Chain A
Amino acid sequence: MAEQRAQPIAVDRGFWTVTLVLAVLAVASIVFWILFPISKYLPEAIITARQVDTMFRFMAASGSALYVFIVGYLIYFSIAFRAKATDPPDAIGVQIHDNPKLEFWWTLLPAIFVLLLSVISVRIWYEILLEPENGLVIQAIGHQFYFSFRYPNVNGEITDEMHLPLGEPVTLNLTSADVIHGFWVPAMRLKNDTVPGLVTTIRFTPQLAGRYEIICTQFCGVLHSQMHKQVLVIEDRASFDKWYQGWQQRNAHVSNALPAAPGQAISLQGGDAAAGKTLFAQKCTACHKLAPFDQRLVGPGLQGVLHDPAHPNLVNGKPATPENVAGILQNGFTGSLGTMPNASANGLSSQDIANLVAFLNTLKL
């Protein structure tokens, strides 16, 4: 075999030429990520969004530079050291087992890089964590399949849009009424899960007016993929006040009562059908249509639920009476179509239930 042993191999000019080319490509990729206009594709709606983008630029730049070298050498070695037709069939390569100096450096340099990356990440992360604690305190509650918002001095929950004034710090307390949801605004580069039984907090300061999608990022049930229809509106103080006062007036008569607990006695006397109609639009239309029984969304259509001779019983098998409808609203129901959340998950007080039943009773086929 001795004559088969290939000549020792030197690091030749080809290697240095390739290294130079790769270095140029690596620098080009670094420059690309430094200059890339991220905010053109995704606005930076809050102050710390820029820091997250900086973090991304740093990792993308160093990652691409490293990747250029690895794949570049991989391709170069694959071509330069391929077995050629002129080689004898049993030709072998140069048997290099290791190179302690090289291995020392390619352990030490990444370790130093990891240290640097840790310092940068911790710094940026602390900037996100240390946003001011005072300011507007809002609660966001995840539901299947929407978010609701509680603002100070507004009765009840707001379930369409979330508005915030420009430039003022916000503390957002997140929780959930049913399952885990993810509260994500891509333009904020920030998300947190809404976990039932826990309150988690994120703080931020809006810096750019606009309308931004709120997206759920934790699978939360059959309509999870539809849970991106709400928007966060960031606007100047005057517009915000107008919106805010509008809700204060609109919800002045909404009860701030706690949701009806399971087993609590509910009086259906004095149900207000008009209030029930508003409530239905906010809380029920994600899963129920105002259409005949068979036209289901998640749950059945509810047009004429109390007056449908073809369906004398409710989904739980009990007769379609106002008391039994109230029972489902209070206690929830799980059947073949999925789960209808109970009153505490849906945020329905006993008055809300009475209003809803009164409204449903007005619907005729």
Chain B
Amino acid sequence: MSVAAVHSGGIADHIHPEPQGFIRRYVFSLDHKIIGIQYLVTGFVFFMLSGLLAETIRTQLLNPNGGFVSPETYNEVYSIHGSAMVWLVVIPLLTGGFGNLVFPVQIGARDVAFPWLNMLSFWIFPVSGLMLFSSFLMGAPTAGWMEYPPVSLQGQAGTSMWAAAIFLVGVSSTMTGLNFLVTILKMRAPGMTFTRMPLFVWGQFATAPLLMIATTALAAALAALFINREFGVPFYDPTKGGSPVMWQHMFWFYSHPAVYIMILPAFGIISEVLPTFARKSIFGYKMIAFSSAAIALLGFMVWAHHMFTSGLAPFLQLPFMILTYIIGVPTGIKIFSWTATLWGGKIHYSTAMLFAIGFVALFTLGGITGIFLAAIPFDLHVHGTYFIVGHIHYVLVGGSMMGIFAGMYYWFPKMSGRLLNETLGKWHFWLFFIGFNGTFIPMHWLGMLGMPREVATYDPQFTFWNRFETFASYLMTFAILIFFVNIIWSIRYGKKAGANPWGARTLEWQVPSPPHYYNFKHVPTVYGLPYDFSQPLPYKGLEEELTDSPPAVAAGAH
């Protein structure tokens, strides 16, 4: 037997025996790629349910007096819409989904560091999702995804179920963060130094500590809320000496970093898609990579910018405003670098590329309105209004969801061996892009003119723009239906992709689609950054990957 190559971290290179049987292969699988697909499928099912809730919200707002559902139901619907989109859709799709699917192959590893932990993280996720949606059966929470006490202490029985569900999905996130961090630190292929890692890996690398550290604060806050509600220990009850503002601190100490959990991996996706289809090296690799780390670090120091109206002392608010402004600098570096990446390229307009360019345009707008909101004087006007609803959707839908769609069109061939249909893809992109802007642009001026958020009915003077938004949102939903049709059709009838349909240069494209369960026959050695299209690929040891030869290290060898 040939001498087993050794990972840079010193873990012996060996291949476990191939799992046998449907259950071990596809249900309780230890393979990071299968787990990634499980996350994607589950996440998109929750995405459909949350989308249904979103359209219930928009349909209610067709008329100033509502009338589609009762105010009680409406409050439940938007609370679960927000909670599910954050915790069951965007975070799991970007970390557990694309993270699992792609980054271990990109660093030349055979799997993540702790496959059993990975399987456990996944299986907690659908269970907590079902718990969250089951809260409808016992009276769902009504105070939005933020569930500020004391009103959440008055909430129906499902509010406690909500807290338990989010706590559990947080446990899953924490384990995923730990797993990814250890994998990136210890299991890179020989020669894969930090400054040779693909930018998607950098995105996951910056996200993992956020998942681990921030989520624990949320867990503590949720546990206290649950205990307050069920056992009467008055953590948040001001009539018995508790502090409702404490919830806000702990919630936002998590939820601001969570915004970066939801965007840093999407930055990574964009940084892969843009150079691939521009046929050109990414511009400013190091600045993009390090700015991710800077954003992750600064993300822990700005949480109170969500609380400028909560009665904090003015001198405490000041640093939060200025630190938030400062985050604009590394974010700007990324946006400028992506734009510059297109300069001098040979751009191929696949659907993935359209979504990536659309991402830059829409996310930038959300970023700019984010600076507006950080300015205390202006925030005192628009806090708690539709302005902020517009802002967050530009960042999370125009940003994160566009990134997720780009990733789906880009990596679908890698996971299934077939391409998504490009014609349907382009319909999806353009209808989504138009519908999205029509839905969320008017929210900015509605908020400034006096429309508060989380309302089941509204002032009749805002009827026109609300109807406009609702019709645009139907267009957006139609576009998403096209996307699902495309996926279902392409799994069976899509064009065969081959190993590398896009001519991409990162490691996952140098192995078959889908890759073998062991990823690489030989663990490759890495000699440089992947992004220079004028150079040969910077890898050695990949010659046999696309041949029929068996893996060099025998199955089961230790």
Contacts and interface: CB of A to CB of B under 8 A. Distances in A.
Contacts of A28: none
A225 B71 contact: yes
B280 interface: yes
B450 A103 contact: no
A351 to B, nearest CB: 22
A218 B384 contact: yes
B368 interface: yes
Contacts of B195: none
A193 B310 CA distance: 5
B452 A216 contact: yes
Interface stretch (B111-119, B146-154, B161-169): B146-154
B450 A122 contact: no
A107 B151 CA distance: 44
B121 to A, nearest CB: 32
A77 B278 CA distance: 10
Contacts of B455: 224-225
A208 interface: no
A77 B449 contact: no
Contacts of A224: 75, 454-456
B325 A95 contact: no
Given A55-B377, A98-B283, A197 B244 contact: yes
Interface in B233-250: 238-239, 243-245
Contacts of A217: 309, 383-385, 452-453
A222 B346 contact: no
Given A128-B377, A189-B380, A179 B533 contact: no
A74 B343 contact: no
B479 interface: no
Given A189-B381, A191-B384, A63 B372 contact: yes
Contacts of A99: 283-284, 340
Contacts of B534: 1, 4-5, 92, 95
Given A70-B339, A216-B452, A95 B280 contact: yes
Contacts of B369: 63
Given A63-B368, A219-B75, A222-B142, A228 B452 contact: yes
A243 interface: no
Contact of B333 (A103, A125, A223): A103
A114 B328 contact: yes
B72 interface: yes
Interface in B297-335: 309-311, 314, 318, 321-322, 325-326, 328-329, 332-333, 335
Contacts of B550: none
B378 A52 contact: yes
A96 B283 contact: yes
A142 to B, nearest CB: 11
A51 interface: yes
B245 A59 contact: no
A109 to B, nearest CB: 9
Contacts of A191: 309, 380-381, 383-384
A93 B344 contact: yes
Which among A1, A97, A198, A215 has the greatest number of chain B C-beta atoms within 10 A? Answer: A97
Nearest to B450: A186
Interface in B433-472: 448-450, 452-459
Nearest to A192: B309
A17 interface: no
A223 B75 CA distance: 10
A275 interface: no
Nearest to B144: A219
B332 A106 contact: yes
B457 A42 contact: no
Interface in B332-383: 332-333, 335-337, 339-340, 342-349, 357, 360-361, 364-365, 368-369, 371-372, 375-378, 380-381, 383
A4 B535 CA distance: 11
A102 B340 contact: yes
B487 interface: no
A196 B454 contact: no
Contacts of B94: none
Interface string A95-124: 111110011001100110010011001101
Contacts of A66: 368
A217 B447 CA distance: 11
B143 interface: yes
Given A63-B371, A184-B384, A217-B453, A118 B325 contact: yes
Interface stretch (A79-87, A147-155, A247-255, A276-284): A79-87
Best-surrounded residue of A1, A4, A87, A103 (most CB of chain B within 10 A): A103
A224 B72 CA distance: 10
Given A56-B372, A121-B321, A213-B450, A91 B459 contact: no
Given A111-B329, A219-B143, A55 B378 contact: yes
A97 B281 contact: yes
B400 to A, nearest CB: 19
Contacts of B287: 98, 103, 107
A351 B238 CA distance: 26
Given A42-B449, A56-B378, A186-B448, 16 more contacts: A9-B344, A63-B371, A81-B343, A96-B344, A98-B285, A106-B333, A106-B336, A110-B329, A114-B329, A117-B371, A118-B325, A122-B318, A197-B239, A200-B311, A218-B384, A228-B452
